């Protein structure tokens, strides 16, 4: 009996000592099957080549993710994964409210000089840096060339041009008149399109001291622009993210204003092939510092301190996402073509797909080259921890303005400020 | 009790043993949470840290239009939906009970069916049916009832109507069955006598049926009111988290969002919960007084 | 029934109201069933005729959305709640009804207060409590708070009222212990009421939303209502698969109810009196 026990014990010890016989599991929470899940899977494949016994489990949490993360953090880490994806505009609030919840990756040896500086900003608190930057949200104006043509316009005359919004409104009106399609799909309960325009002007939503900055010229001009678009019937209004996607992919509008990460969604519908053309984000006139470029979204990966597999998680992120090897560079190249996921890992930008033409788009436009060019011009936007209540308040006020419940831009701004103060308890 | 002494004490002890588990559950899952939340009420939470702020949360609540409007919405739903539904349920019960002889079972079953669905299912189904380019709009456009699609989910007014529609659909059958049961316990001779006296069916309804069914109406009203004060599934799923622009935000939903989405402020959320509890209590007391009092006087 | 009823406007109106209500009540169920056969766009557009996508929707629902797991979770939790619930609530109702005392009546009065207590008020402190004991995200956490239901106790009390105390007295004379009286004499004859209570508790737990929403942190424990809510939050809502989940979520309750209609209504009869 004793001998049997001894042998069993020895066997167990032997197995434990032999590196990696016991499979380790790293759980990752993210969203968007065509984009983030896909990218993570590619990364997992690369990692599994050298670490075959680390099982990387990717869970699509959709829009649940922030509620579940906050519930888990409130519960001291219960139910949380090892790695989670956070949108850049959201992370500051989490870092601020839960200072010990994330692993300091700078201390773990990640070289942040290899990442685009504007991505590192939101994830840095003092001397600690917490995340691995992922994708850029470089934006453009996406147009359906088939509807342009049907309206008697020549798409080539707009390709690559730095247009002003007034130009866009003009041809938008023509498209609406001739084809009945509104130019832009607009998610009325979401503030992102407005944000894109504001950011393109270099405007900020918050002053350096953290207080609201909604009375700026840039913001007022942006709201007026959308009111104008709405009044001219150029916005196809839907409620809810999924319905916005649905509207685009069921031909309800002649285009939309959003970021590079829509590539995966647009490509997921075969009928979109050859129809889409992307031009630089239009310019708001009369605001100094305005550019034909903006950013919407972009996320980064974070490791939770409560993770039971911290070492494996950190190593995975570091070695695949933050280190240059032929395999990792190939990985960044693949996800660019496959999902439009343009990473902000600077060494990866020499990949072939970054300059290649993409046959899915109108006249094989080299969309990634364009987005990368525009990305370099994006004015920086400071989020602050209070970004989310602000954007909800603004979205609500703008919705009311469009429905006629508020009568002017100033009233809209006042309403947004009022709601923000009440929700924040100031 | 006629018995005294050891036997009586044994019975008494047994009685306590019977109710003990339920009292234990009550203490752990109702009493303790309510009492412990007093701790949170005086604090402001910000994620992992909290600070003492005395009555600050209540002052904040008084100035928080979103909260005040949310409570207002609860009241709007309550004042409009509950009477409509109770009346409809009563009407259907009377029609089924006294109006028709055939198909009674089938119709009763059909109207009761929505009550077995979860509120999540109701929200999902109605959200699909009430899309701007969805079924209901298509039917109404086709039948020329309306000229352009109604924004059931995107317009502030219609979104409230949508919630009321969903609630009525879900709960009318449930309450109808209660009324049916009550009606069946009424003595048909009363009605026959009234008929002989020349009272019309409508008059009979208002002067005989309704007063006799007051206890059930009270039960219906109290539970429905309590339900509308707790409304969370419909505004969250059907109208997208209280939209559009907080037009259908309810107290419970706002509390949930403050705790888990917006600010992670459990202190503020708990304070609002307290206020909601007090409001519910007052409403129940009023209803008991109003409707229960009538019963006592007869 | 020999008198022929004339079709007065009143009668026509009455039938319109009844039939209209019945159709309006049942239509969404047809919709739900039909939706399982359509592709997502058609579900939204409101096509009434069945389509051919049932298998692909079913596959999506059972593989990508882990429908069997969610169904199992819901079932296990609901059954657990019912088993414990019937025992605890029936004993409580028995104790409150057949062993009247002023003290117990007062206790019952306090318990009644929970009927008007909004759930949101208890949910947040309970969340803190369960997370302190590291019991979040477990099936136990979802089921426990629902086990005791004052509504059920009230309902069962009404039914116990109808049980003749003389039988209990006779058994006492024969020397039976109170527990034996309950288990061997009272409970067996209350089967119908217990069945009603069980059905009611099952349906309530099966459809529960708020507390599971807060407690469930990942897919392993997810129940059907939460799964449906999650699908509605997805990037692109797969309406066809969603309808499958909706059907799977609703049909068991529907069938349960249809087969046990009589008990259900009989139970309601007792409580209303």
Contacts of B224 in chain C (CB under 8 A): none
As a whole number, mean pLDDT of residues A291-301 equals 90
CA-based angle C141:C142:C145, to the nearest 5? 80
Q: How far is A6 from chain C (nearest CA, A)?
A: 36
Give pLDDT, residue B296.
42
Query: pLDDT tens, C157-170?
Result: 888 888 888 888 88
Taking the C-alpha atoms of residue A46 and residue B180, their distance in angstroms, rounded to an integer, is 67
Structure tokens at C85: 């619930």
| Closest residue on chain C to A251 (Cα) | C41
Between B64 and B202, the higher pLDDT residue: B64
Which of C41, C137, C235 minimises the CB distance to A79? Answer: C137
Selected residues 179-198 of chain B with any CB under 8 Å from a CB in chain C: 181-182, 184-185
Quick check: C21 contacting A, CB < 8 Å?
no
| C1·B101 Cβ contact <8 A | yes
Residues B253 and B236 sit within 8 Å (Cβ to Cβ): yes
Residues of B in contact with C101 (CB under 8 A): 12, 15
Percent of chain B past pLDDT 90, that is, above it, reads 25
| Ramachandran angles phi, psi of B143, nearest 5° | -85, 10
Overall average pLDDT of the B191-208 stretch: 78
Give the whole-angstrom CA distance, residue C178 versus residue B12.
Answer: 11
pLDDT at C103: 87
Under the banding of pLDDT at 50, 70 and 90, the label for residue A197 is: very high
What confidence tier does C82 reach under pLDDT thresholds 50, 70, 90?
A: very high
Are A79 and C134 in contact (CB < 8 Å)?
no
DSSP state of B118: -
Q: Check whether C260 has a pLDDT greater than 80.
A: no
Give the residue from C230, C228, C141 showing the smallest Cα distance to B117.
Answer: C228
Q: For residue B71, what are its two tokens?
A: 């409570």
**By CA distance, what is C129's nearest residue in A?**
A75
User: Contact partners of A by the rule of 3+ C-beta pairs under 8 A?
Assistant: B, C
- Paired sense of beta strands B43-46 and A124-125, if any: unpaired
pLDDT of residue A3: 64
- Parallel, antiparallel, or unpaired for β A83-87 and A24-30? parallel
Q: A18 Cβ partners below 8 Å, 6+ apart?
A: none
CA distance A419 to chain B (A): 7
At A237-253, the pLDDT tens digits run 888 888 888 888 888 89
Q: How many Å lie between the alpha carbon of C128 and the closest alpha carbon of chain A? A: 7
CA gap B12, B85 in Å, rounded: 44
pLDDT of residue A68 exceeding 60, the answer is: yes
Whether the per-residue pLDDT at C2 is higher than 50: the answer is no
| C243 close to A (CB below 8 A) | no
Say yes or no to pLDDT of B162 above 90: yes
- pLDDT for residue B298: 36
SS3 A316: helix
pLDDT band per the 50, 70, 90 thresholds, residue A81: very high
C-alpha span between A422 and A393 (Å, rounded): 10
Contacts of A34 in chain C (CB under 8 A): 235
Q: Which pLDDT score, from 0 to 100, does residue B279 have? A: 92
Q: Output the pLDDT for position A344.
A: 87
Scanning A99-258, the segments in alpha helix (DSSP H) are 117-120, 145-150, 165-179, 192-200, 217-231, 241-249
CA distance A244 to chain C (A): 9
pLDDT band, very low/low/confident/very high, at B74 (cuts 50, 70, 90): very high
Convert the pLDDT of each residue in B12-65 to its tens digit. 888 888 899 999 999 999 999 988 888 888 888 777 777 888 788 888 888 888
Q: How many CB pairs under 8 A join B and C?
A: 253
Instruction: Check: CB of residue A385 under 8 Å from CB of residue A125.
Output: no
Residue B295 has what pLDDT?
46
Distance from CA of A96 to the nearest CA of C (A): 21
A-C C-beta contacts closer than 8 Å: 58
Nearest CA in chain A to C234: A62
Residue C80 CA to residue C143 CA, distance in Å, equals 7
- Across the interface, which of C131, C134, C230 has its CB nearest the CB of A62? C230
For tokens 């080259």, the residue is A369
Alpha-carbon distance B257 to nearest alpha carbon in chain A (angstroms): 9
Per-residue model confidence (pLDDT) at position A55: 92
Measured between CA atoms, the residue of chain C closest to residue B126 is C28
Please give, rounded to a whole number of angstroms, the shortest distance from the CA of A52 to a CA of chain C.
24
A110, pLDDT greater than 80: yes
State chain B's mean pLDDT as an integer.
Answer: 85
Mean of pLDDT values over A31-60: 90
Among A338-347, B271-280, C179-188, which range has the highest average pLDDT?
B271-280
Chain A partners within 8 Å of C220 (Cβ):
none
What pTM, to 2 d.p., does this model score? 0.84
Q: Could B101 and C265 be called an inter-chain contact, meaning their C-beta atoms sit closer than 8 Å?
A: no
On chain B, the residues whose CB falls within 8 A of the CB of A97 are 46-49, 264
Residue B3 pLDDT class (50, 70, 90 cuts) = low
On chain A, the residues whose CB falls within 8 A of the CB of C234 are 60, 62-63, 242
User: Looking at the complex, does the CB of residue C138 fall below 8 Å from at least one CB of chain A?
Assistant: no
Phi, psi of A87 (to 5 degrees): -70, 145
Residue to test with chain C: of B26, B103, B121, most C Cβ within 10 A: B121
Find the range with the poorest average confidence among A110-119, A160-169, A321-330: A110-119
**For residue B287, how many other CB atoms are within 10 A of its CB?**
18
**Interval C196-217 mean pLDDT:** 90
Kindly write down the DSSP assignment for every residue of chain C, as one continuous string: --PPPP--HHHHHHHHHHHHHHHHHHHHHHHHHHHTTS-HHHHHHT--S--S-HHHHHHHHHHTS-HHHHHHHHHHHHHHHHHHHHHHHHHHHHHHHHS--HHHHHHHHHHHGGGGS-HHHHHHHHHHHHHHTT-TTSHHHHHHHHH--HHHHHHHHHHHHTS-HHHHHHHHHTT--HHHIIIIIIHHHTHHHHHHHHHHHHHHHHT--HHHHHH--SGGG--HHHHHHHHHTSSS--HHHHHHHHHHHHHHHHHHHHHTHHHHHHHHHHHH-
Q: Which candidate from A74, A237, A239 shows the least CB-CB separation from B243?
A: A239
Angle, CA A88 vertex, CA A84 and CA A89 arms, to 5°: 120
| Alpha carbon distances (Å) from A52 to A19, A26, A47, A48, A327 | 11, 13, 8, 4, 15
Q: Would you tell me which residues 188-247 of chain B have a C-beta closer than 8 angstroms to some C-beta of chain C?
A: 201, 216, 219, 222-223, 226, 229-230, 232-233, 236-237
- What per-residue confidence (pLDDT) applies to A417? 92
Phi and psi at A235, nearest 5°, equal: -115, 130
Across the range C205-229, mean pLDDT stands at: 90
Which of C130, C214, C237 has the CB atom closest to A242's CB atom?
A: C237
CA angle at A267 for the pair A261 and A268, rounded to the nearest 5°: 105
| pLDDT band at residue A39 under the 50/70/90 scheme | very high
Average the pLDDT over each of A47-51, B200-204, B260-264, C236-240 and give the range with the smallest value: B200-204
The pLDDT of A140-152, averaged and rounded, is 93
What phi and psi, each to the nearest 5 degrees, are found at residue B5?
Answer: 90, -150
Mean pLDDT of chain A: 87
The pLDDT value given to residue A147 = 93
Which ipTM was obtained for this model? 0.84
CB contact under 8 Å between C217 and A59, yes or no, is no
Note whether B84 and B197 are within 8 A (CB): no
Residue in chain C closest to B251 (alpha carbons) equals C120
Asked if C133 is an interface residue toward chain A (Cβ–Cβ < 8 A), one would say no
A182-186, A230-234, C113-117, C227-231 — which is least confidently predicted? C113-117
Among A107-116, B126-135, B157-166, B229-238, the least confident range? B126-135
- Domains of chain A as residue ranges with CATH: 16-136+298-350 (3.40.190.10), 139-294+358-424 (3.40.190.10)
Residue in chain B lying closest to C226 (CA)? B120
Residues of A in contact with C44 (CB under 8 A): 246
Highest mean pLDDT among A75-84, A317-326, B210-219: A317-326
Q: Which A positions 251-280 lie with beta carbon below 8 A of chain C?
A: 265
Using an 8 Å CB-CB cutoff, list residues of chain B that contact chain A.
44, 46-49, 60, 63-67, 131-132, 153-156, 240, 243-246, 258, 260-266, 268
| Residue C43 touches partner A, C-beta closer than 8 Å | no
Residue-averaged pLDDT of chain C: 85
**Interchain pair C101, B15: CB under 8 A:** yes
**pLDDT bracket for residue A276 (50, 70, 90):** very high
User: Is some CB atom of chain A closer than 8 A to the CB atom of C25?
Assistant: no
Backbone angles phi, psi at A60, to 5 degrees: -85, 105
**Does the pLDDT of residue B222 top 50, yes or no?**
yes
Q: Which residue of A has its CA nearest to C232?
A: A242
Nearest residue in A to B47, CA atom: A97
pLDDT of A14 reads: 55
Using CA atoms of C209, C211, C212, C215 in order, give the dihedral in degrees to the nearest 10: 150
Helices (H) and strands (E) in chain B, counts: 16, 2
Closest partner residue to B37 (CB to CB) among C14, C114, C125 is C125
Measured from the Cβ of residue A271, the count of other Cβ atoms closer than 10 Å reads 9
Q: Residue B26 is nearest to which of C148, C214, C273, comparing CB atoms?
A: C148
Domains and CATH numbers, chain C: 9-54 (no CATH), 66-233 (1.10.3720.10)
Diameter of chain A measured on Cα atoms: 90
pLDDT of residue A269: 87
Contact at 8 Å (CB) between A66 and A90? yes
Q: What is the DSSP string of C230-241?
A: HHHTSSS--HHH
CB contact under 8 A, A424 and B245: no
Contact yes or no for A422 and B64 at CB 8 A: yes
Q: What is the mean pLDDT of residues B119-124?
A: 91
Distance, in angstroms, between C154 CA and closest chain B CA? 12
For residues C249 and A405, what is the distance between their CA atoms, to the nearest angstrom? 40
C269 confidence band (pLDDT: 50, 70, 90): low
Please give, rounded to a whole number of angstroms, the shortest distance from the CA of A21 to a CA of chain B. 38
Write the Ramachandran bin of B94: left for phi over 0, alpha for psi from -120 to 50, otherwise beta: alpha
Distance of CA A22 to the CA centre of its chain: 36
Q: Using the beta-carbon criterion (under 8 Å), do C89 and B22 form an inter-chain contact? A: yes
The neighbour count for residue A114, using CB atoms within 10 Å, is: 15
């Amino acid at each position: 009996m004793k001998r049997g026990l001894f042998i069993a014990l020895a066997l167990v010890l032997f197995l434990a000592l032999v590196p990696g016989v016991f499979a380790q599991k790293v759980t990752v929470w993210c969203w968007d099957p065509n984009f983030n899940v896909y990218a993570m899977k590619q990364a997992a494949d690369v990692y599994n080549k050298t670490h075959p016994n680390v099982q990387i489990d990717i869970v699509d949490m959709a829009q649940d993710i922030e509620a579940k993360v906050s519930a888990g953090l409130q519960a001291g880490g219960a139910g949380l994964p090892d790695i989670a994806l956070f949108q850049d505009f959201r992370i500051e609030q989490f870092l601020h409210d839960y200072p010990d919840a994330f692993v300091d990756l700078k201390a773990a040896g990640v070289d942040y000089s290899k990442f685009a500086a504007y991505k590192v900003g939101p994830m840095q608190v003092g001397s600690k840096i917490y995340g691995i930057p992922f994708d850029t949200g470089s934006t453009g104006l996406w147009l359906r060339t088939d509807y342009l043509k049907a309206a008697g316009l020549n798409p080539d005359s707009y390709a690559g041009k730095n247009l002003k919004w007034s130009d866009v409104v003009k041809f938008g009106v023509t498209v609406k008149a001739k084809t009945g399609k509104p130019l832009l799909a607009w998610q009325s309960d979401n503030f992102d399109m407005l944000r894109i325009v504001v950011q393109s002007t270099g405007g900020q939503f918050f002053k350096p001291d953290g207080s609201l900055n909604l009375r700026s010229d840039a913001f007022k001009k942006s709201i007026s622009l959308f009111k104008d678009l709405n009044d001219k019937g150029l916005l196809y209004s839907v409620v809810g993210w999924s319905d916005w996607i649905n509207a685009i992919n069921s031909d309800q509008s002649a285009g939309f204003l959003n970021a590079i990460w829509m590539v995966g969604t647009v490509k997921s519908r075969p009928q979109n092939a050859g129809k889409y053309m992307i031009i630089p984000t239009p310019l708001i006139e009369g605001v100094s510092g305005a550019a034909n470029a903006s950013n919407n979204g972009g996320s980064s990966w974070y490791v939770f301190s409560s993770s039971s597999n911290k070492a494996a998680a950190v190593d995975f992120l570091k070695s695949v996402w933050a280190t240059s090897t032929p395999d990792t560079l190939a990985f960044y190249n693949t996800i660019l073509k496959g999902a439009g996921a343009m990473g902000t890992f600077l060494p990866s930008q020499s990949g072939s797909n970054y300059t290649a033409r993409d046959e899915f788009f109108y006249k094989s436009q080299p969309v990634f080259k364009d987005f990368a060019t525009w990305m370099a011009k994006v004015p920086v936007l400071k989020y602050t921890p209070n970004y989310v209540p602000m954007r909800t308040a603004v979205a609500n006020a703008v919705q009311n303005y469009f429905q006629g419940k508020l009568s002017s831009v100033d009233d809209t701004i006042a309403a947004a400020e009022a709601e923000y103060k009440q929700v924040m308890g100031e | 009790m006629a018995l005294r002494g050891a036997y009586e004490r044994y019975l008494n002890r047994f009685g306590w043993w019977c109710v003990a588990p339920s009292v234990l559950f009550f203490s752990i899952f109702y009493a303790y949470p309510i009492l412990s939340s007093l701790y949170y009420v005086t604090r402001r939470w910000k994620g992992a840290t909290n600070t003492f702020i005395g009555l600050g949360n209540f002052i904040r609540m008084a100035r928080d239009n979103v909260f005040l409007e949310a409570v207002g919405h609860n009241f709007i739903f309550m004042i409009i939906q509950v009477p409509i539904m109770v009346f409809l349920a009563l009407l259907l019960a009377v029609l089924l009970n006294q109006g028709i002889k055939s198909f009674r079972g089938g119709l009763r079953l059909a109207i009761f069916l929505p009550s077995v669905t979860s509120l999540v299912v109701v929200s999902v189904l109605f959200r699909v049916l009430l899309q701007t380019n969805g079924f209901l709009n298509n039917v109404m456009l086709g039948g020329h009832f309306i000229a352009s699609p109604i924004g059931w989910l995107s317009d502030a007014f219609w979104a409230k109507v949508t919630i009321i529609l969903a609630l009525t659909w879900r709960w009318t059958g449930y309450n109808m069955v209660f009324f049916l049961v009550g009606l069946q316990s009424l003595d048909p001779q009363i009605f026959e006598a009234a008929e002989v006296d020349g009272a019309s069916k409508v008059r009979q309804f208002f002067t005989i049926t309704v007063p006799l069914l007051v206890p059930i109406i009270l039960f219906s009203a109290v539970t429905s009111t309590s339900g509308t004060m707790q409304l969370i599934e419909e505004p969250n799923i059907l109208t997208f988290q209280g939209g559009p622009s907080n037009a259908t935000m309810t107290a419970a939903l706002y509390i949930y969002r403050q705790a888990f989405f917006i600010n992670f402020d459990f202190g503020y959320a708990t304070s609002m919960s307290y206020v909601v509890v007090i409001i519910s209590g007052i409403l129940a007391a009023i209803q008991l007084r109003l409707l229960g009092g009538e019963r006592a006087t007869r | 029934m020999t008198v022929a009823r004339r079709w007065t406007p009143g009668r026509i109106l009455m039938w319109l109201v009844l039939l209209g209500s019945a159709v309006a009540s049942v239509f969404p169920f047809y919709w739900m069933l039909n939706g399982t056969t359509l592709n997502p766009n058609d579900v939204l557009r409101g096509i009434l005729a069945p389509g051919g996508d049932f298998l692909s929707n079913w596959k999506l629902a059972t593989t990508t959305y882990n429908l069997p797991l969610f169904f199992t979770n819901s079932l296990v939790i609901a059954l657990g709640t019912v088993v414990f619930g019937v025992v605890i609530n029936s004993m409580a109702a028995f104790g409150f009804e057949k062993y009247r005392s002023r003290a117990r009546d007062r206790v019952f009065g306090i318990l009644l207060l929970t009927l008007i207590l909004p759930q949101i008020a208890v949910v947040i402190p309970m969340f803190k409590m369960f997370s302190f004991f590291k019991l979040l995200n477990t099936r136990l956490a979802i089921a426990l708070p629902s086990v005791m239901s004052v509504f059920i106790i009230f309902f069962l009390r009404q039914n116990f009222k109808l049980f003749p105390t003389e039988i209990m007295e006779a058994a006492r004379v024969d020397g039976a212990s109170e527990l034996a009286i309950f288990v061997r004499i009272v409970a067996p004859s209350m089967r119908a009421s217990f069945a009603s209570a069980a059905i009611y508790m099952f349906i309530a737990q099966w459809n529960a939303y708020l507390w599971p929403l807060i407690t469930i942190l990942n897919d392993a424990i997810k129940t059907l209502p939460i799964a449906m809510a999650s699908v509605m939050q997805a990037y692109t809502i797969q309406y066809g698969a969603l309808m499958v989940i909706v059907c799977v979520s609703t049909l068991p309750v529907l069938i349960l109810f249809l087969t046990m209609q009589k008990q259900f209504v009989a139970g309601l009869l007792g409580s209303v009196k």
